[in-house]
Structure 1
Amino acid sequence: MRRRRLLMGGGMAAVGLVGLGAGGSGMAQPSVTVQRPPRLRPGATVGICSPAGATFERDRLDLVVDAVTAMGWRPKLAPHVLERYGYLAGPDAVRAADVNALFADPSVDALLPVRGDWGSARILPYLDYDQIRANPKVIIGFSDITALLLGIYAKTGLITFHGPHGVTAWRSDQVDFLRRVVVQGETLTFTNPLLGADQDRIMRDQGRIDTITPGRATGRLLGGNLSVLSGLVGSPYLPDLRGAILFLEDIGERPHRVDRMITQLKLAGALDGLAGFIFGQCRSCGPGEGFGALTLSEILRDHIQPLGIPAWSGAWIGHVEPMWTLPLGGQVAIDANRGEIRMLEPAVI
């Protein structure tokens, strides 16, 4: 995810024991109890925070407040939500303090980052994971927020949510996924939507599924932005991916960079023992004019097909709309032939 090209990035319940490690880094972590946060009810308080990039215009924050209010929730601004330290929303310790405070605040039911961009990984060493574990809450985002979602899951077992953050488009179909997953506690089945002209065609043009290896699998769903996730390799903030369904997406990356990052995951052992693999959308990831390159399809087949696990690319996951709300750490079943993700359990209690 090339930040300069990022447009959009910009009650406790035990549901199983999982041995969490560092995704092949050899840095073992103790087993933790996977837990679901309480669902969001009408009038819930949503803490709006900035764990990554700075919000430079106040009206961007006002849009987030309006969206939260329109959902029937009460917005609560973190103390430093508009702070700025260069391109970051304040120094690392300050951004982490806001996240810690929102988890510790009994009046807050969920955390919604304003935006992604860059910076979530920098605050991971400053988070109070004991406090987070003791106060499970919905936290949702995507892009750079991948680091925060995976780090919290790895250290606490709390199911987190890959979905819209504050400055994404709160369109009705996108809101519908969010409501059904974190409010109603439904177990959804996700398949690529028909978009635009495809709704009136006898064939699909956008959102096509490319099956890499056919088959079905079940496992805990983990993943997010490839650039951010690969940056966690070797740290205690990347969950052990053995037995998981791994999904990846990105934006603004040339094919050789995607190849480099997936190679890094492979060499680190993070792909060993996966139950299944999904590659979403990679917008603006072409080779450019006059540049000979492997295609994304060829890169994925080189790395993923030898794993012999159900796998496909083209899932409607990434810097796209409508954006799904996916439970990181939740049990799912996948069908690589149909390009389908089916939740096997509610993600909230």
Structure 2
Amino acid sequence: MAVNRRQFLTISLTSLASLTYLSQPVMSANSSIIKPKRLKAGAGVGLISPAGATFIKEDIEIVKEAVKSLGLIPYTAPHLLDKYGYLGGKDKDRAGDINQFFADPNIEILLPIRGGWGCARILPYLDYNLIQKNPKIIIGFSDLTALIIGIYAKTGLVTFHGPNGFSSWRTEQVDSFKQVLFLGNKVTYKNQPDGDDANRLMTVKNRITTITPGTAKGKLIGGNLAVLSGILGSPYVPDFKNYILFVEDVGENIYRIDRFLTHLKIAGILDKLSGFIFGQCTNCLPDADYASLTLEEVLEDHIKPLGIPAWSGAQIGHLENIITFPIGINVEINANQGTITLLESAVN
């Protein structure tokens, strides 16, 4: 097909813009990080809906009750109860709520009501210069993976993989939240024993499976595998060199987990890591229509050849208790014991 000069110029400028877009600086393992202030009693909590819609007022009241029980003060975003299809409002409005709360001196932590889908859509509308100049805690899991990794990659701000507002807030979850965000402790994470195993001769639940033994150090990063796969190739991920990656998922067929890990592999991400942790894959079943690999076989295929310390079965995922993990903090892992140890406080 013949291309005239005007078409050629348009194609060239479009290609250049794409290259410029994808080559924006992102966080590397050696880049400096920004830590938010630790929480204190009376701190303001900005309640946001950056992903799925929250349109039942009682849900908001339940989350407010949990926030107040933590000794914190809830503030509701202007568009908290908006609904645009399955989204919590239009993209620019949801991003605007986040920008507004980062600029608000009364707010110390941004807490999403729930996950769902939509955080990746608002990444282009966030004011990263504003966020970088006003570092605050932002936390969440599942679809919030895009938001916490995107903000970290673009600003260097330590973010947190942890509970959404509508999580369970049971004792173990609350304790982890306080240890990391209020006290700034250098905690060690490991699977907790299940009560059903107390009367058994062996451990059946909450087991870890070592894929490759050993210890490793690096900056911790991770979240939902499907969401992470969806933002690869954008300016909203770091370069992953010498990072320790943890992933989890829910409701995916095994072949889709294989697909996501293959994406990480051919994108060159897996080869850069110093360690790997696979959490829980809740309701991840083989495809009923044809023969399937097991999840164990998929992990052996993709992770074992890397030769880096790695294990599966960590208590990370869509669980009753959502533990708080900092994104961007130096940790040491032990794949034999299934432990993650923070080497520094995640907050100032």
Q: TM-score, normalised by structure 2?
A: 0.91
- Over 3 Å off, 4+ runs: 25-28, 288-291
Q: Within 5 A, what are the aligned runs for 1:106-125?
A: 106-125=105-124
Q: Which residue does 1:164 correspond to in 2?
A: 163
Deviation at 1:292, TM superposition (A): 1.6
Q: Percent identity?
A: 55
Q: Within 5 A, what are the aligned runs for 1:292-311?
A: 292-311=291-310
- Structure 1, unmatched stretches of 5+, are 1-24
The whole-number CA distance in structure 2 between the counterparts of 1:28 and 1:215 is 35
Q: Which residue does 2:207 correspond to in 1?
A: 208
Q: Which residue does 1:328 correspond to in 2?
A: 327
Over residues 44-87 of structure 1, what are the superposed CA-to-partner deviations in whole Å (9 max), with x where a residue is unaligned? 00000000000131111111111001100000001110000000
Asked whether the 8 Å contact 1:54–1:84 carries over to 2, the reply is yes
Q: Which residue does 2:181 correspond to in 1?
A: 182
The whole-number CA distance in structure 1 between the counterparts of 2:130 and 2:283 is 39
The whole-number CA distance in structure 2 between the counterparts of 1:103 and 1:203 is 49
The whole-number CA distance in structure 1 between the counterparts of 2:42 and 2:201 is 44
Q: Which residue does 2:25 correspond to in 1?
A: 29
Deviation at 1:150, TM superposition (A): 0.1
Q: Which residue does 2:193 correspond to in 1?
A: 194
Over residues 9-51 of structure 1, what are the superposed CA-to-partner deviations in whole Å (9 max), with x where a residue is unaligned? xxxxxxxxxxxxxxxx973515653011000000000000000
Residues paired across the two proteins, number: 325
SS at match of 2:240: coil
SS at match of 2:144: helix
The whole-number CA distance in structure 1 between the counterparts of 2:163 and 2:251 is 19
SS at match of 1:318: coil
The whole-number CA distance in structure 1 between the counterparts of 2:173 and 2:34 is 25
Counterpart residue identity of residue 57, structure 1: I
The whole-number CA distance in structure 2 between the counterparts of 1:314 and 1:128 is 37
Asked whether the 8 Å contact 2:26–2:237 carries over to 1, the reply is no
Counterpart residue identity of residue 230, structure 1: S
Deviation at 1:288, TM superposition (A): 4.8
Over residues 294-330 of structure 1, what are the superposed CA-to-partner deviations in whole Å (9 max), with x where a residue is unaligned? 0111001101111110000000000013221000101
Asked whether the 8 Å contact 1:27–1:234 carries over to 2, the reply is no
- Structure 2, unmatched stretches of 5+, are 1-20
SS at match of 1:153: helix
Q: TM-score, normalised by structure 1?
A: 0.91
Which has the larger displacement, 52-61 or 118-127? 52-61
Q: Which residue does 1:267 correspond to in 2?
A: 266
Asked whether the 8 Å contact 2:252–2:284 carries over to 1, the reply is yes
